[in-house]
Structure 1
């Protein structure tokens, strides 16, 4: 013990039923804060790796879209697996042709994941709270995409 420093007061135990005090932050806190973003990246990366290895263009590997099977109408997700396969194998034009909305989603996920990881490493929360207007705009964009890809002039958006 350093004689220049006063004796620290001994820690008193918490009374029964009182919440425990949080532990002092450890040196590995930035790593611990990155566990959830890294786990999410591992899960998404594993799914992309599987789709990259198992080609959805070959019949029998994945189920057919139920909406397309029953009605012949493309939903907003139709072509998403083919798009992911093309994206992960580096065929970006084919990925956009299979499902342009999905490619935009992959890119948006990448940007948001980097933002999430950086903020988590710094101990800051990531708060994304779209307004009602923004949700309506997102829903409208998905609906317009779905309708246009099923019309003759929008066939370029069809998978």
Structure 2
């Protein structure tokens, strides 16, 4: 298998999802959009809750609404783009890339997710 196949497949899948979301508002009932299993089971918002609405707003050029829907996830998008870019570039060069995170980085990510979960549920966001 070519090293470029996984990042290209991921980009195509993301593009297909974004194209679908662009034309299907998460604010309208009965849309075929994923529901958060954590919210369904607990009634609480997870760290990514609001991510679909945030993405919909970004696709329609509404950064203010996107930030209101999930500011932490919105701020994390550029940080997620970097490792994807490294993965894609390595794949296009015929190389493999594996993101390596140390314990501190993993702790920071998990701690931020936990703190955001608590804050958003206490504030009712």
Runs of 4+ in 1 over 6 A off after TM superposition: none
Match of 2:108 in 1: 137
C-alpha RMSD over aligned residues: 2.3
Specify which of 94, 97, 101 is matched with residue 126 of structure 1.
97
Unaligned segments of structure 1, at least 5 residues? 1-31
TM-score by length of 1: 0.65
After superposition, the Cα gap between the structure-2 partners of 1:125 and 1:146, relative to the gap in structure 1 and judged at 3 Å, is: same
Unaligned segments of structure 2, at least 5 residues? none
Task: Give the structure with higher Rg (CA).
Answer: 1
Q: Which has the higher contact order (CA 8 A, sep 6+)?
A: 2
Match of 2:119 in 1: 148
Match of 1:54 in 2: 24
- For the Cα contact (< 8 Å) 1:49–1:88, is it kept in 2? no
Taking the aligned partners of 1:34 and 1:71, their CA distance within structure 2 comes to 39
After superposition, the Cα gap between the structure-2 partners of 1:136 and 1:55, relative to the gap in structure 1 and judged at 3 Å, is: same
Q: Deviations over 1:38-81 (max 9, x none)?
A: 11100011111111111001122146545445654222121111
Residue-pair matches, total: 123
The structure carrying a bigger helix percent of its residues is 2
Taking the aligned partners of 1:121 and 1:63, their CA distance within structure 2 comes to 31
Report the 3-state secondary structure (helix = DSSP H, G, I; strand = E; otherwise coil) of the residue aligned with 1:150.
helix
User: In the TM superposition, what is the alpha-carbon distance from 1:34 to its structure 2 partner?
Assistant: 2.6
TM-score by length of 2: 0.80
